[in-house]
């Protein structure tokens, strides 16, 4: 497996974990997410991610989201890369 393939695999696993944390499928995350912003403390420690969804995201998908912060955002805890 070359480096690009590994990075692609690692990114896919990361997205799967984000989707699980939010309570949606990987396909829903890939279809409707427009941004994933890493949240860190002032000291640089990661505390999670803020995931931003499209305004056109179906209500059925938005209603499934755990840790929803606003109409189109939800938070995760720390997602480890193992």
Domain with 21, as residue range(s), is 3-76
Instruction: Tell me whether residue 59 is in a domain.
Output: yes
Instruction: Tell me whether residue 81 is in a domain.
Output: no
Instruction: Tell me whether residue 61 is in a domain.
Output: yes
Residue 74, burial from CB neighbour count under 10 angstroms (0-12, 13-18, 19+): buried
Q: Confidence class of residue 2 from pLDDT cuts 50, 70 and 90?
A: very low
Mean of per-residue pLDDT scores for the chain: 89
Instruction: Tell me whether residue 43 is in a domain.
Output: yes
Instruction: Tell me whether residue 82 is in a domain.
Output: no
Provide CB contacts within 8 A for 27, sequence distance 6+.
Answer: none
Give the number of domains in the chain: 1
Q: Confidence class of residue 82 from pLDDT cuts 50, 70 and 90?
A: low
Q: How far apart are the first and last CA of the chain?
A: 17
Instruction: Tell me whether residue 27 is in a domain.
Output: yes
pLDDT in tens, 13-38: 999 999 999 999 999 999 999 999 99
């Amino acid at each position: 497996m070359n480096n690009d393939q590994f990075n692609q695999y690692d990114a896919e696993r990361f997205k799967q974990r984000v989707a699980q944390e939010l309570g949606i499928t990987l396909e829903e995350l890939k279809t409707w997410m427009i941004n994933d912003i890493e949240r860190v403390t002032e000291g640089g420690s990661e505390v999670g991610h803020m995931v931003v969804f499209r305004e056109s995201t179906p209500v059925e998908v938005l209603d499934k989201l755990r840790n929803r912060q606003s109409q189109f955002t939800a938070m995760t805890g720390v997602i480890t890369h193992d």
